Amino acid sequence: MLDIYLWLAQNGLNILVAIVMLVLAILLDLIFGDPSPNYPDKIAFKLHPTVIIGNFTKKIEPYFKSENARVEKFLGVLLALTVIVTASAPVFFGLWLIYTYIPAYINILVYALVGIIILKMTICIKLETDWAKAATKAIINDDLDEAKKYSHFSRRDSKGLNGSQISSAVIESMSENLIDFKLSPMMSFALFGVTGAIAFRAINTLDGMVGFKTKEHINTGWFSANLDSFVNYIPTRLTALLMILSALILRLDAKNSWRIAKRDHAKTPSRNHGWPMAAVAGALRVQLEKPGQYILGDAQEALTGEKILDALRIRDLTIVLWGFLCIIVIFIVRFWFMPI
């Protein structure tokens, strides 16, 4: 009987520590944010895990090239595995050493502090929020030159964009980044701990570096692109559902959000990110467009700068709902399958 109580107490502590780590990592990001890519020479930017992983990928990719397409695809698998293992192994073994060799109870505190800092660097909320609000202010003030500074969110040329097109670019990017820089890292942590969050960041960064259907990357990047699509398959669809629920709670057009998500999710190049992008277009009753690539939603209302703020409200509530889902997963995983 005593052994059962000890087991329950230990698992309860693991669950509590994991929940506290997740909450504090998010709070840390909301307070301090991420280093801005507008200042790439700053040491904080250079030491960010995403930047380190990206630079490492760029440096080693030439060694995984071949004139034979099949060989190059195989080398693409090795490239992805090399980057993922190189990024996540030091985190796993570092935290394992802390947990194993530092005296009892102090080890949990040190583990949690280090883990919170690492986990925070896989999540980006504040920086995007600041940019979205700045873009909104510029659009409302009809300062398009200022607003165009934030259209790079969506990797598009800002020349010739009007206020509605800039608003569309920002909202589309927020919807896509909701998965990549918020919800998927959170769920990866809930399932696999801090190492899981870093592994996801490596997968997502690989997709951003080599996962393109260009002549240069079509072979070496195919595995990275498909791996990112695989790990985000369920999160993107759950996110769309939570965005629809958020629209309902916020008294936006949840019914239209569901209709547009079902109708338009497959119109984007990404097989996954069309779901949240279409869901938010429907909730806002606007049309989101990337010229020459896709149109999502119906232009039932004007796409003004204020719509960015409504999209932020949907995003923030979706993060909260996702957080509760992560806590449920933490209870299940930590209680039955794994320690911290």
Token pair, residue 92, equals 């796993």
SS3 assignment, position 243: helix
- Shortest CA distance to 253 belongs to which of 274, 271, 278? 278
Q: Which domain holds residue 248?
A: 2-336
Find where tokens 């990866």 sit: 188
CA distance 55 to 328: 36
Token pair, residue 327, equals 């806590």
What residues of the chain score a pLDDT lower than 70?
Answer: 1-10, 151-158, 337-340
CA distance 25 to 185: 11
Number of domains in the chain: 1
Token pair, residue 61, equals 């990719």
Residue type present at position 106:
I
Token pair, residue 252, equals 């936006």
**pTM reported for the whole predicted model:** 0.94
Q: Whole-number mean pLDDT of the chain?
A: 92
CA distance 288 to 192: 35
pLDDT of residue 339: 46
